[in-house]
Amino acid sequence: MTRKASKRLFQEAKTPQELLDIPEDALAKLIYPVGFYRTKARTLRTVCTDLIEKYESRVPDELDELLKLKGVGRKTANLVITLGFGKQGVCVDTHVHRISNRLGYVSTKTPEQTEMALRAKLPRKYWVEFNDLLVTYGQNVCKPVSPFCSKCSLSRYCERVGVVKSR
């Protein structure tokens, strides 16, 4: 859904100023049906204003600078760093956090703790692709509730931490 919304948005605006030129209601319609689309439309406008005023309309390529932008958390900042700038980073979303812990590879309570644990343990050459692999796996096999352990090619290595019921 995010990919489709992004595609629609970038067909209309390729720069922060072009995005700001779109009325907020029209911007919200462009990114609908993404969750919280009205709030995200407002946030996009704030981010674009900050990019223009503080970064000469350029997206920063440093994690700490990205985290200063409203609505940008560690997951998004790491995605921008890795996919946008080709730098090393570990992008941890709910799937990466859940599966890394479920496997017993890390033992953490929050996605940020998981990111730091993976940075320390996972070989750097796997950092970028780790997110893509686990997100797809988490959406299709290792679901949050009742994962498909019978279909899982990793089941013999998995500690099944927190798994109460599986299929």
How many structural domains are present in the chain?
Answer: 2
Q: Are 49 and 126 in a shared domain? A: no
Q: For residue 53, what are the domain limits?
A: 2-58
Average pLDDT over the chain, rounded to whole?
95
Share of the chain above pLDDT 90, in %: 95
- pLDDT beyond 90 at 13: yes
Q: Are 54 and 81 in a shared domain? A: no
Q: Are 103 and 154 in a shared domain? A: yes
Q: Are 23 and 91 in a shared domain? A: no
Q: Are 151 and 80 in a shared domain? A: yes
Listed in sequence order, the residues at least 6 apart from 59 whose beta carbon sits closer than 8 Å to its beta carbon are: 51, 66, 80, 84
For residues 39-50, give the mean pLDDT.
97
Instruction: Read off the pTM.
Output: 0.84
Q: Are 79 and 117 in a shared domain? A: yes
φ, ψ (nearest 5 deg) of residue 30: -65, -35
pLDDT digits over 110-141, tens only? 999 999 999 999 999 999 999 989 998 999 99
Q: Is 116 among the domain residues?
A: yes
CA 100/CA 56 separation, integer angstroms: 38
